Amino acid sequence: MEKLWSGRFKEKTEKVVENFTSSLSFDVRLWKYDIEGSIAHVKMLGRQKIIPQKDAGLILQGLNEIKTEIQGGKFRFLDSLEDVHMNIEQALIKKIGPVGGKLHTARSRNDQVALDIRLFLRDEIADVLKLLKNFQRVLVSAAEKHVDTVMPGFTHLQKAQPVLLAHHLLAYFEMLERDLERFKDCLKRVNVMPLGSAALAGTTFPVDRKYVAQLLKFPRISENSMDAVSDRDFVIEFISASSTLMVHLSRLSEEIIIWNNDQFGFVELPDSFTTGSSIMPQKKNPDVLELIRGKAGRVFGHLVAILTVMKGLPLAYNRDLQEDKEPLFDTVDTVKSSLQVLTEMLPGMRFNKEAMEQALEKGFPTATDLAEYLVRKGMPFREAHRVTGEIVRYCIDNKKALNELSTREFQQFSRLIGKDVFDYITVKTSIDSKKSFGGTSGRRVLARIRKIKTGK
Interface with ligand ARG (CB under 6 A), residue from 8, 74, 156, 319 = 319
Q: Which is nearer to ligand ARG, 202 or 439 (CB)?
A: 202
Separation between Cα atoms, residue 336 and residue 125, nearest integer Å: 10
Least Cβ distance, residue 74 to ligand ARG (angstroms): 24
Q: Which is nearer to ligand ARG, 110 or 203 (CB)?
A: 110
Burial of residue 181 (CB within 10 Å: 0-12, 13-18, 19+) is exposed
Interface with ligand ARG (CB under 6 A), residue from 218, 266, 300, 317 = 317
Q: Does residue 141 have an active-site annotation?
A: no
Least Cβ distance, residue 90 to ligand ARG (angstroms): 14
Q: Which is nearer to ligand ARG, 110 or 250 (CB)?
A: 110
Decide: helix, strand or coil at residue 160. strand
Separation between Cα atoms, residue 434 and residue 429, nearest integer Å: 9
The pair phi, psi for residue 239, each rounded to 5°, is -70, -30
Segment 430-436 long-range contacts (CB within 8 Å, at least 24 positions apart): 430/161, 430/162, 430/365, 430/366, 430/369, 431/150, 431/162, 431/163, 431/164, 433/369, 434/161, 434/163
Q: Is 225 in the site for ligand ARG (CB under 6 A)?
A: no
Of 156, 272, 278, 406, the active-site residue reads 156
Least Cβ distance, residue 85 to ligand ARG (angstroms): 6
Of 240, 242, 277, 338, the active-site residue reads 277
Q: Which is nearer to ligand ARG, 235 or 267 (CB)?
A: 235
DSSP 285: B
Q: Is 230 in the site for ligand ARG (CB under 6 A)?
A: no
Q: Which of 326, 304, 314 minimizes the C-alpha distance to 230? A: 314
B/e letters for 152-179, b = 16+ CB within 10 Å, e = fewer, are bbbeeeebbbbbbbbbbbbbbbebbeeb
**Interface region with ligand ARG, contact rule CB under 6 A, candidates 46-54, 180-188, 316-324, 444-452:** 316-324
Q: Is 23 in the site for ligand ARG (CB under 6 A)?
A: yes
Q: Is 231 in the site for ligand ARG (CB under 6 A)?
A: no
Q: Which is nearer to ligand ARG, 239 or 321 (CB)?
A: 321
Site string for ligand ARG, 321-350 (x = CB under 6 A): xx----------------------------
Q: Is 395 in the site for ligand ARG (CB under 6 A)?
A: no
Separation between Cα atoms, residue 215 and residue 40, nearest integer Å: 6
DSSP 81: G
E runs forming strands in 115-271: 150-155, 158-164, 192-193, 220-221, 267-268
Q: Does residue 277 have an active-site annotation?
A: yes
Least Cβ distance, residue 120 to ligand ARG (angstroms): 12
Least Cβ distance, residue 180 to ligand ARG (angstroms): 30
Q: Is 83 in the site for ligand ARG (CB under 6 A)?
A: yes
Decide: helix, strand or coil at residue 382. helix
Decide: helix, strand or coil at residue 442. helix
Q: Which is nearer to ligand ARG, 124 or 372 (CB)?
A: 124
Binding site for ligand ARG (CB under 6 A): 23, 27, 83, 109-110, 113, 317, 319, 321-322
Catalytic residues: 156, 277
